[in-house]
Amino acid sequence: MEFLTYEDGHLCDERYKDIHAAEQPLPEPRKVVHHQSRNTCYKTIHFDHVQESEAVGLFSIHPKSIDFKDFTVGEEHRIVVTLTNRTTRSCTFRVLPISPLYRDILRVQYVPPSTLSPGLQWKITAIFTPNEDVDIETAVYCRTHDGIFTIPVRAYRKQSVMSFYPEKIDFGIVTCGEKVVRHLTLRNDGALPAKVLISGTLRNRMEALHMEDNGALEEPVLRINPASYQFNVLPFSERRIEVIFSPCQNTLIDDEIDFKYESKGMTLIQRVVVKGSGGALPVYVASEQELNFNWCFYGEKYCEKITIKNTTNVMTTVVPEIPAPLASSVSFSPRTLSVQANDTSDFYLFFEPKTNLSTTVSYSILMNVQGQVGQIYVAIKARLTSHEFLITPDKLLYGACALEDEVVLPLQVENLSDLPQTLGFLKLPSNIHVLPYRCVTLSPRETIQLTVGVRPPKIGQYKQVLKLTNEYGNTKKLYVSGCGRKSVFIFSRPCIYLAACSIGNVMSATTFLTNSDNVSHYFTIGSATQSIRASPSHGVLQSRETIPIIISFSPSTQAVPSPVAEPLSRPAAKHIGKKGRERECQISIEKHVEDEVDAVEEHYKAWESNAPGELWCKNMTYFLKCFADSDITEHVALVQVNCVVVKPTLFVRSVLRVCQKPVPQKVFKRGLMKGEAHSSVDQPPLLDVSSCTTHLEMNFGEVSPKYRTDRACLLKYVGDKPVRLYIRPLDPLSPFTVTKPGPLVLCPNEECAFGVRFNPVEFGVFREKIVITSSDSNDIVLSLVGICQTAELYVGVDGEHNGDSKSVERVAMDAVLIGQEARTQLVFHNLNSSPVEVNVTFIDAEGRKPMWPESHSFIFESCHFTVPAKAKTLKSIIFSPRVGGFLSLYLQITSGAFKHSILVEGRGCESPIFFTFPGQRQMVEVDRMQVTGVQPSVFPITGISILDPVRLHCVSEDTKTIYVGSVKPGAGFDCTVNGWNEMYNESGWKLEPFKLSGSPGGQGTFTLTYNPKRESNDVSFCTFSFTVKCPLIQGELVYHVQCTGTM
């Protein structure tokens, strides 16, 4: 990355003087408007709202923010920041200029680095010289190869930060004449001294006086020491004051002390609650009267000590009275407490909450004192919750998969507590991975979904037990089971995470499929949805062969875009009424985008969505199964595809055609005058447009050289704020040009037209992509295709071509056994002076997509290829029958305007020897099934048994041909006719020859003729059989034939 900088490191390019300008191209010249006013307005550009790019994370920053605390005006403050390259590649950075608001008081001093290797550090120094006493928040921006990252800068002036401890003072029950002292701490954590004033309701209490028992002196009930209502607390120090409570008669205190102080020009007030009571109770609770256990767990035991003081001269007994709701949760030790005269004793309260208690506990426990009328209490408070968690499900069944494959299943973990808790898998086997976190801290009542990926540890059945433990020692067991087996096919990436894809676009990734076996296998990759496709999805892999597999994801709301007709806005015809006034009507454009946006929500309703209030996003996990040969019951290998869909805010629709329909004008009541004809007006033109998408394919068809073709599309924006569009530049030599780019800024719910022109000057197939991008919306991709040529293509089976020969129309494949393959080469001669692109596909006799078994029996070597100019290319047709019998498909070849179909026929055999009888080339319809793999013959099996012979019906002068042959490669055979009688010859039957021999892969012919010598209404019969001997067949193969002849 090259920087144009000065020697001090500042960028000299005008585009980088502003952060916003750094992300945009050079601005257009501004129009200068002179106002009459002499006042000039200046606008300051702020830097605080710059969006961080992918550069975040390239460098680790220490400290993470630059904080100038308690600064002094006029003094210079320095902080050194260390930047460490945390990536695996070399990179560099430059500090951008400081915001104009703070460039006079903040600057960055550093030596610009060239490049930093991974792990190296570089230091920069932030220098802050304040000129006024105000707080500042800004940032230092740094530019890298990948974008901009920021370092926050904050400066805080000196202030007073006061805190008071404790926030509550409880004197409990104080006996008259006794003095109790509590301490209150005033702490100043700021850099300025604080003046604290005391006020509040407790100040009135301090002025109250109590008379002593002898009546000699009056003392204040409550006072503070030192006796003052104003305190000065120095910076970074604390001050302690005493609060003294000495009642001489029965009194109750429940007041507040207000502490007032100033900070940052504001008056702040903080309150401290003071409680207590004074009386003549001789036996009282000397410890805290309120026991607050805060958060407690059900089933756990907690303990607190309660001190009882006896001020009398005799021993007394104290018995606690537990409320009924707490009977099973609270106990005392000892149950009855004896307190000696003028002494203290301790109770131990044990609190073990049961599940019958509510989540909030607040009760008072009466302490019954023997011989004392006054009652004393102990209050108990607590908040209860559970420390349990729940996993769903507790058993994961992974089924059968290969040892090299990792199957991922979701696991839901729920925190049943009202407190956060940390839980995780403390020990995991090497074949199990948990994502995204192995240990996680859950918020109260939070539910998180983990993914557990398992690779089979061995071949055969396996069972494993995982333990999920939280910080409190609770453990849940997760049972994992499955079956491991040896894999024929292995994917290099069994788990693929696709980037976020907007609706209408295509996102793809590549993995490699390897045949790990020593023999070749036929593979088929199946998908559960049409949105995910694998290419190639089937084929034959030789031993140890590896091929790339492209996994593409194309989210859409419907399979085929349906055209939508909407009227084009334009003024209608003007009419003149009786009073001669002109009226004009305007036709508005109907909007259809809203309906299609609503269809997106319905289509992806079952997908998992992100949190409410965030950007619309859906994600789903699919599995692609790879089968081998005839294994259709269980898969051989799995590919996990994780897809993410985001809803676009920018759409495009193609304009297909414009049509107009004339409609008759309205006739007024006065009728028509003689000789006056009906007039007509034009209906508004209709735009026939496609449905909304983000990836539009525009096919300009075949165009002659220097012929111009125009296409148009409509851009629709449905976002919340205006968006600026940018068109990436095209190749200067491209035949595609943008004729109407449309506005550069689109407002919400605005639509504009976009025009593209195709004007080729030479032959060829041209492809181009126009990308319309925006920083605040999704991209629009226009895939343009245009052809400028007339293809002259010859397709044959031999390598030579003369000017008079025509392309082959029929190709007969060799007969092979089921599961084996036969190949025939086709030669494609390009007679043009420029390369041509050829597309090849198989179709049935009705032009539709072929079904099973033909679709899995015929394979072409390449569905899309290019034939060089004045050259030829060899491609193979592979015939690997899945069933026995005759199979045929049409091979459709297209190249621009050139189209040619070839009938491809083949026969699959269950045995090395096959017979073909007249009328036996049609398959049985009831046996046609939607399955894959090798299947038995779909033709009726007749002739093997004498009870079910092959029946042939002949009429006078009729000839039947019977074929017998051997598959290739195969073995020779001998075929003999048995059971032929000379009487058949007299009845007009004739069969020749009676014996023939065939070579490996060869074929023989028997001819049966029926020609009766005299006219007769009788029916003639003949019965015979064929006996075949072949080294590849055990014993003999016999076929029985019964012939019926009529006139």
Of the candidates 63, 44, 86, 87, the residue with the CA atom closest to the CA atom of residue 151: 63
Is 753 in the same domain as 829? Answer: no
Residues 373-377 have a mean pLDDT of 77
Is 262 in the same domain as 411? Answer: no
Strand partners, 138: 153
Residues in the chain: 1047
- Return the pLDDT at 632: 53
The CATH number for 1034's domain is 2.60.40.10
Taking the C-alpha atoms of residue 905 and residue 907, their distance in angstroms, rounded to an integer, is: 7
- Last residue of some domain: 157, 180, 202? 157
Residues 103-122 have a mean pLDDT of 91
Of the candidates 656, 585, 641, 646, the residue with the CA atom closest to the CA atom of residue 615: 646
Check: CB of residue 434 under 8 Å from CB of residue 425: yes
Does residue 21 fall inside a structural domain?
A: no
Is 143 in the same domain as 75? Answer: yes
- Last residue of some domain: 257, 279, 301? 279
Is 214 in the same domain as 323? Answer: no
Q: Is residue 603 over pLDDT 50?
A: yes
Does residue 204 fall inside a structural domain?
A: yes
DSSP 349-385: EEE---TTS-SEEEEEEEEEETT--S-EEEEEEEEEE
491: exposed, middle or buried (Cβ count in 10 Å: 0-12, 13-18, 19+)? buried
Global pTM reads 0.36
**Two tokens at 359?**
């989540």
Residues 810-835 have a mean pLDDT of 85
Q: Is residue 34 over pLDDT 90?
A: no
Query: Is pLDDT larger for residue 16 or for residue 200?
Result: 200
Taking the C-alpha atoms of residue 328 and residue 458, their distance in angstroms, rounded to an integer, is: 53
Of the candidates 365, 373, 369, 379, the residue with the CA atom closest to the CA atom of residue 338: 369
Does residue 603 fall inside a structural domain?
A: no
Q: Is residue 427 over pLDDT 90?
A: no
Does residue 287 fall inside a structural domain?
A: yes
Q: Which residue range(s) make up the domain with 190?
A: 162-279
Q: Is residue 661 over pLDDT 60?
A: no
Is 626 in the same domain as 494? Answer: yes
Of the candidates 483, 484, 466, the residue with the CA atom closest to the CA atom of residue 475: 466
Place of tokens 């309150």: 271
- Last residue of some domain: 910, 926, 958? 910
Taking the C-alpha atoms of residue 332 and residue 318, their distance in angstroms, rounded to an integer, is: 11
Does residue 739 fall inside a structural domain?
A: yes
Percentage with pLDDT > 90 across the chain: 21
Quote the DSSP letter at residue 249. Answer: S
- Return the pLDDT at 67: 93
The letter for the amino acid at 746 is: L
Dump pLDDT digits (tens) for 914-968.
888 887 654 433 333 334 444 444 444 677 788 888 888 888 888 888 888 888 8
Residues 236-244 have a mean pLDDT of 89
Of the candidates 284, 310, 306, the residue with the CA atom closest to the CA atom of residue 380: 306
H/E element, 205: helix 202-206
User: Within 13 A of 972's CA, how many CA atoms are on the CB side?
Assistant: 5
Taking the C-alpha atoms of residue 526 and residue 878, their distance in angstroms, rounded to an integer, is: 21
- CA-CA distances (angstroms) from residue 102 to 18, 76, 107, 632? 14, 14, 8, 71
The letter for the amino acid at 31 is: K
- Return the pLDDT at 891: 92
- Return the pLDDT at 1012: 84
Does residue 923 fall inside a structural domain?
A: no
Count of C-beta atoms within a 10 Å radius of residue 201: 14
Check: CB of residue 329 under 8 Å from CB of residue 354: yes
Is 712 in the same domain as 780? Answer: yes
Residues 153-163 have a mean pLDDT of 90
Of the candidates 36, 35, 38, 18, the residue with the CA atom closest to the CA atom of residue 27: 18
On the question of a cis peptide bond just before residue 130, with omega within 30 degrees of 0, the verdict is no
Is 716 in the same domain as 808? Answer: no
Dump pLDDT digits (tens) for 728-778.
888 888 889 888 776 678 888 888 888 899 888 887 888 998 888 887 788
**Two tokens at 250?**
């029965």
Query: Is pLDDT larger for residue 574 or for residue 456?
Result: 456
Give the 3-state secondary structure of 25-94.
CCCCCCCCCCCCCCCCCCCCCCCCCCCCCCCCCCEEEECCCEEEEEECCCCCEEEEEEEEECCCCCECCE
Check: CB of residue 858 under 8 Å from CB of residue 816: no
Taking the C-alpha atoms of residue 452 and residue 391, their distance in angstroms, rounded to an integer, is: 12
Is 310 in the same domain as 266? Answer: no
637-646/495-497 β-pairing = parallel
Is 65 in the same domain as 124? Answer: yes
Is 434 in the same domain as 372? Answer: no
Dump pLDDT digits (tens) for 677-696.
444 445 555 556 777 778 88
Residues 283-296 have a mean pLDDT of 87
Mean predicted lDDT score pLDDT of the chain:
79
End-to-end CA distance of the chain: give it in Å, rounded: 95
Query: Is pLDDT larger for residue 479 or for residue 557?
Result: 479
Total count of domains within the chain: 8
Q: Is residue 94 over pLDDT 50?
A: yes
- Return the pLDDT at 594: 53
3-class DSSP state of 328: coil
Dump pLDDT digits (tens) for 718-738.
888 888 888 888 888 888 988
On the question of a cis peptide bond just before residue 226, with omega within 30 degrees of 0, the verdict is yes
Burial per residue of 364-383, b for 16 or more beta-carbon CB atoms within 10 angstroms, e otherwise: ebebebeebeeebebebebb
Dump pLDDT digits (tens) for 851-894.
888 888 899 988 888 888 788 899 999 998 888 888 899 999 98
Taking the C-alpha atoms of residue 866 and residue 89, their distance in angstroms, rounded to an integer, is: 40
Does residue 402 fall inside a structural domain?
A: yes
- Return the pLDDT at 941: 66
On the question of a cis peptide bond just before residue 1031, with omega within 30 degrees of 0, the verdict is no
Residues 812-824 have a mean pLDDT of 87
- Return the pLDDT at 760: 86
For the ranges 370-374, 475-479, 669-673, which has the lowest average pLDDT?
669-673
3-class DSSP state of 16: helix
pLDDT-based confidence at residue 580 (cuts at 50, 70, 90): very low
Place of tokens 């079904």: 851
Contacts of 491 (CB under 8 A, 6+ apart): 404, 405, 511, 512, 513, 514, 549, 626, 637, 638, 639
Q: Can you say how many angstroms the Cα of residue 653 is from the centroid of all Cα atoms in its chain?
A: 25
- CA-CA distances (angstroms) from residue 14 to 33, 51, 892? 23, 20, 60
Is 764 in the same domain as 852? Answer: no
Is 622 in the same domain as 476? Answer: no
pLDDT-based confidence at residue 463 (cuts at 50, 70, 90): very high
The letter for the amino acid at 861 is: E
Query: Is pLDDT larger for residue 68 or for residue 896?
Result: 68
Dump pLDDT digits (tens) for 991-1042.
888 899 888 888 889 998 988 876 666 788 889 999 998 888 888 888 899 8
pLDDT-based confidence at residue 588 (cuts at 50, 70, 90): very low
- CA-CA distances (angstroms) from residue 251 to 200, 201, 276? 19, 15, 9
The widest CA-to-CA distance across the chain, in whole angstroms, is: 165
Dump pLDDT digits (tens) for 259-280.
888 887 788 888 888 888 777 6
Does residue 567 fall inside a structural domain?
A: no
- Return the pLDDT at 631: 57
Query: Is pLDDT larger for residue 587 or for residue 986?
Result: 986
**What does the radius of gyration of the chain's CA atoms come to, in whole angstroms?**
47
